[in-house]
Chains A and B, each alone.
Chain A
Amino acid sequence: MDHYKEVSNFFRNYKKDNITQIRWHGRGGQGAITSAKILAVAGFLAGYKGVTSAPFFGAERRGAPVIATTKLSKCTICDFSQIVSPDVVVVLDNTLLKTINVTQGLKPNGWVVLNTPQHFKYDFLQNSFNFIRVNATQIAEESGLISAGIPLVNTPILGTLLHVLPTIDLSHIHKALEQFFSPKAVLKNFDVISRVYKECSVEKIGNFLQELQES
């Protein structure tokens, strides 16, 4: 039996394609799925050979919690299964923290990227996680990135991820945006993303960044 357990662990920890996994938490209509795709395109432009992005396969409604995912790898991605242990979780709406365990399965030294309008206690976070906090809602509002009266936070938060994924830079994001939006919208989104990139607060940088740079 011990031998089987050992083999099983080998299978479970097998990482030939070494995928960086990003899980997006948002609410229906916030654009988590679009941003997850933009990140995949930006990653591809930055030289990741394998990229995928998918919504969590379920029924989607406006305002309900939704999940999207992005996978980035140096090789072609063959594993199409759902993400269970992400390297990064992006939370577009801090009210989700009350109902959803956003850090479920998050790897030790993984990243939590949180859009939050006010300071509050982050007891839910283990110390081993890295943490980026940004008031993307306020920045979007100030910059006039508003749609139907609601500040857009999905694209601005891409700015924070550049701290986590150092191989992707602003130029890749710009190029990726061009595939999704009109030139005017690209300009507007890009301005806010650049601002978020500069203004977000990186609270703790752990081993993950270093590991990524080494790999």
Chain B
Amino acid sequence: MTVLNQQRVNNTHNHLSNPKTYPPGQHVVTGNQSAAIGAFLSGVQVVAAYPITPQSPVVEELAKFIEEGELPAEFVPVESEHSAMGVCIGASIAGARVFTATCANGLAYMCEQLHWASGSRLPIVMACVNRAMAAPWSVLNDQQDSMSQRDAGWIQLFCKDNQEIIDTVIQAYRIAEKVYLPVMVCYDGYILSHTVMPIEVPDGNKVKKFLPPYIPHTPIDISKPVNINPVTLADPRLNADGVLCHGYMEHKYLHHQSLRNSLKIIEEIDIEYKDIFGRSLGGLFSEYKTDDADVVIICAGSLSKMCTLVIDMLREQNVPIGLVSLRAYRPFPNQKLSVALKNKKLILTIDKSLSYGYQGPICIDIKSSLFESGISSTVISFVAGLGGRDIKPYEIAEKAYDYWNKFNKKELTNEIIYESQWINCKY
């Protein structure tokens, strides 16, 4: 490793271990504050972001840390999300631990750079504060933005509450730097981003131990300039130094394999995190009362926390129901999920987004996972909460109760099975 890079690596953890304003312990904070504290504790060195509602407070909080000298990082104000990711890519290549945050149309504007980041195998961590995509214009919550970037080659992790946001950001750096892939930390706009709730801020010294310094996969050296990401042809060929290099397809194969391997890494790191901090986030997904369940609700994000209440309600009405709350959406834990869903008769997926023209993205992936495993459960796709439409626990409970009864009476028609059921849509 070059001297330059060694210095950068050493700098990774030069900052104070704990933020003055948020010492270790209990704090009542918003989801956005939680994400910012997570980035602080992870010792980020470069933050580049463009403000967009409801993400702005994350960046404001980090800008404050940096401006007040608490966090010795470089804050790069940019003119667009596309540039924000561009700065992150450059800084990450140079060996810095970088953070950014965006949502909705900002994320869409970043789309091209998302592929550059993942294709370059850069461990960038980005908060995606889930918000509806325009048009029509909406600043409110659903999950269409991150779901639309499903195939950008990033790891996507969903958070249930503000505690999971800070824990996921810290874990994300560990995962990202181990598999050399960027991680999108997704949490619901407003419902979490602007809502205060109690969280436990971990001790920065412990985070330092948990998170070793970032070592770039390809250290760069000023004395030996190289062309990063040169045009890659279809087939492997010799480079200027006479070394046989991968073709495009080999690069993509390795990219994909790393994503698949990260299934194991995400779980392992979560276990390690629990050993140190006493909290597990469930690894790839968490289950609630699924052991003896015949019906299972599957969803992601804050809705899955609310659904624990729904399960309790339905259990009191003798519905044998459980909950799978999805944490890792990409890589998709298809094999593990099919084990968890074995012997379940009815599966109700609730998406806060839609693959327009088909069904909810979670539903589609669940169906294909079950098919691979030869499980023939009935899967029903529910769509809820688009563009900030409020979701009440009783609404979900009523639907689940209704469809479980329909299932038992064999009243589930083709129209129900092949289409999506919209919850609380007034059309």
Q: How far is the CB of B252 from chain A (nearest CB, A)?
A: 39
Is B423 close to A, CB under 8 A? no
Contact A11:B196 (CB < 8 A) given known A16-B309, A57-B190, A80-B306: no
A residues near B397, Cβ cutoff 8 Å: 11, 14
Whether A78 and B28, one on each chain, are in contact in the complex, defined by CB atoms closer than 8 angstroms, is no
Q: Which one of B238-246, B310-318, B340-348 is at the interface? A: B310-318
Is A12 close to B, CB under 8 A? yes
Is A151 close to B, CB under 8 A? no
Q: Which one of A47-55, A93-101, A134-142, A161-169 is at the interface? A: A47-55
Whether A53 and B195, one on each chain, are in contact in the complex, defined by CB atoms closer than 8 angstroms, is yes
Q: What size tier do the contact residues of chain A reach? A: 20 to 34
Residue among A8, A11, A12, A77 with the most chain B CB within 10 A? A11
Residue of B nearest to A8 (CB): B398
A8 to B191, CA, bound (A): 25
Is B407 close to A, CB under 8 A? no
Among A14, A41, A44, A59, the residue within 8 A (CB) of B393 is: A14
Among B140, B316, B391, B394, the residue within 8 A (CB) of A12 is: B394
B residues near A211, Cβ cutoff 8 Å: none
Whether A57 and B388, one on each chain, are in contact in the complex, defined by CB atoms closer than 8 angstroms, is yes
A8 to B314, CA, bound (A): 11
Whether A79 and B197, one on each chain, are in contact in the complex, defined by CB atoms closer than 8 angstroms, is no
Whether B309 and A52, one on each chain, are in contact in the complex, defined by CB atoms closer than 8 angstroms, is no
Q: Which of B309-329 contact A (CB under 8 A)?
A: 309, 312-313, 316-317
Is A171 close to B, CB under 8 A? no
Is B208 close to A, CB under 8 A? no
Contact A52:B196 (CB < 8 A) given known A57-B190, A78-B309: yes
Is A10 close to B, CB under 8 A? yes
- B interface residues, tally (CB under 8 Å): 32
Q: How far is the CB of B23 from chain A (nearest CB, A)?
A: 12
Whether B306 and A55, one on each chain, are in contact in the complex, defined by CB atoms closer than 8 angstroms, is no
Q: How far is the CB of A51 from chain B (nearest CB, A)?
A: 6
Contact A51:B197 (CB < 8 A) given known A8-B398, A11-B398, A78-B305: yes
A179 to B28, CA, bound (A): 10
Q: How far is the CB of A8 from chain B (nearest CB, A)?
A: 6
Residue of A nearest to B308 (CB): A78
Q: How far is the CB of A46 from chain B (nearest CB, A)?
A: 12
B residues near A54, Cβ cutoff 8 Å: 190-191, 194-196
Q: Which of B371-427 contact A (CB under 8 A)?
A: 388, 390-394, 397-398, 401-402
Contact A55:B194 (CB < 8 A) given known A8-B398, A11-B398: yes
Is A201 close to B, CB under 8 A? no
A residues near B191, Cβ cutoff 8 Å: 54, 80
Is A22 close to B, CB under 8 A? no
Contact A79:B317 (CB < 8 A) given known A11-B398, A37-B196: no
A8 to B401, CA, bound (A): 9
Q: How far is the CB of A62 from chain B (nearest CB, A)?
A: 16
Whether A10 and B393, one on each chain, are in contact in the complex, defined by CB atoms closer than 8 angstroms, is no
Q: How many A-B residue pairs have CB under 8 A?
A: 84
Interface of A is mostly: mixed
Q: How far is the CB of B294 from chain A (nearest CB, A)?
A: 18
B residues near A17, Cβ cutoff 8 Å: 309
Q: How far is the CB of B356 from chain A (nearest CB, A)?
A: 24
A10 to B397, CA, bound (A): 10
Is B198 close to A, CB under 8 A? yes
Q: How far is the CB of A161 from chain B (nearest CB, A)?
A: 17
Contact A16:B302 (CB < 8 A) given known A7-B317, A81-B390: no
Contact A52:B195 (CB < 8 A) given known A80-B302, A82-B390: yes
Is B103 close to A, CB under 8 A? no
Residue of B nearest to A9 (CB): B394
A49 to B194, CA, bound (A): 19
Is A102 close to B, CB under 8 A? no
Chain A proximity mask over B295-309: 1 for CB below 8 Å, otherwise 0? 000000010011011
A residues near B313, Cβ cutoff 8 Å: 10-11, 14, 16
Is A40 close to B, CB under 8 A? yes
A residues near B28, Cβ cutoff 8 Å: 37, 40-41, 44, 51, 179
Residue among A54, A59, A78 with the most chain B CB within 10 A? A78
Whether A8 and B195, one on each chain, are in contact in the complex, defined by CB atoms closer than 8 angstroms, is no
B residues near A53, Cβ cutoff 8 Å: 195-196
Is B211 close to A, CB under 8 A? no
A78 to B303, CA, bound (A): 9
Is B170 close to A, CB under 8 A? no
B residues near A52, Cβ cutoff 8 Å: 195-197
Q: Which of A9-37 contact B (CB under 8 A)?
A: 10-12, 14, 16-17, 37
Q: How far is the CB of A189 from chain B (nearest CB, A)?
A: 18
Is B127 close to A, CB under 8 A? no
A residues near B306, Cβ cutoff 8 Å: 78-81
A residues near B129, Cβ cutoff 8 Å: none
11 A-B pairs besides A49-B198, A79-B309 with CB distance below 8 A are: A10-B313, A11-B317, A11-B394, A11-B398, A51-B197, A52-B196, A77-B197, A78-B308, A80-B195, A80-B302, A82-B390
Q: List 7 A-B contacts (CB under 8 A).
A: A14-B316, A14-B397, A40-B196, A52-B197, A54-B194, A78-B305, A80-B195
Q: Interface on B for A, CB 8 Å cutoff?
A: 26, 28, 139-141, 190-192, 194-198, 302, 305-306, 308-309, 312-313, 316-317, 388, 390-394, 397-398, 401-402
Q: Interface on A for B, CB 8 Å cutoff?
A: 4, 7-8, 10-12, 14, 16-17, 37, 40-41, 44, 49-55, 57, 59, 77-82, 179
